[in-house]
Amino acid sequence: MTARIYRPSRNPMQSGKGKSKAWVLLFEPQSAREIDPLVGYTSTSDVQSQVKINFETLEAATAYADKNGINYHIDMPHDATPKEVSYPDNFKNTRKTPWTH
C-alpha cells in the first residue's frame, strides 16, 4: 500500500487559490481498472484508491502516514512565478508589435 502526498495546483478555470493550500494523501491504485463486459463501465475492486485525506501541513500528512505504517512519496509543489506586468509598457516606443485598439 503506497500513498502519494502532494499539494494540488489551483483551479485553472478560476483566479483564486481556494483548495490549493492543503496537502492531500492519496493512495495509489494496486490493480488496474477493468471494463465490465455487460455494461462497459470501468471498475476496480481496490477500495483504497477512493480514499483521499486532506491535511493542513506536510508534516501532519507524513506523521499520519508514519503512524499508520503507510509507504509514501512526496510530490513537492511547483509554485507559479508571478510575471511583472505594467500598464504603461503597452505604450512604449520600443514595443515589438504596435499597440492598437
pLDDT in tens, 63-91: 999 999 999 999 998 877 777 878 888 78
99 falls within a domain: no
66 falls within a domain: yes
The Cβ of residue 55 has, within 10 Å, a number of other Cβ atoms equal to: 18
62 falls within a domain: yes
- The CATH code of the domain that includes 29 is 3.30.160.190
Enclosing domain of residue 29: 2-77
60 falls within a domain: yes
59 falls within a domain: yes
Point out which residues pair with 24 in neighbouring strands.
6, 54
Q: How many domains does the chain have?
A: 1
Strand boundaries in the chain, DSSP class E: 2-6, 23-27, 34-35, 42-43, 52-55, 71-75
CA distance 63 to 57: 10
96 falls within a domain: no
84 falls within a domain: no
31 falls within a domain: yes
What confidence tier does 101 reach under pLDDT thresholds 50, 70, 90? low
pLDDT in tens, 16-65: 777 788 999 999 988 888 898 889 898 888 888 889 999 999 999 999 99
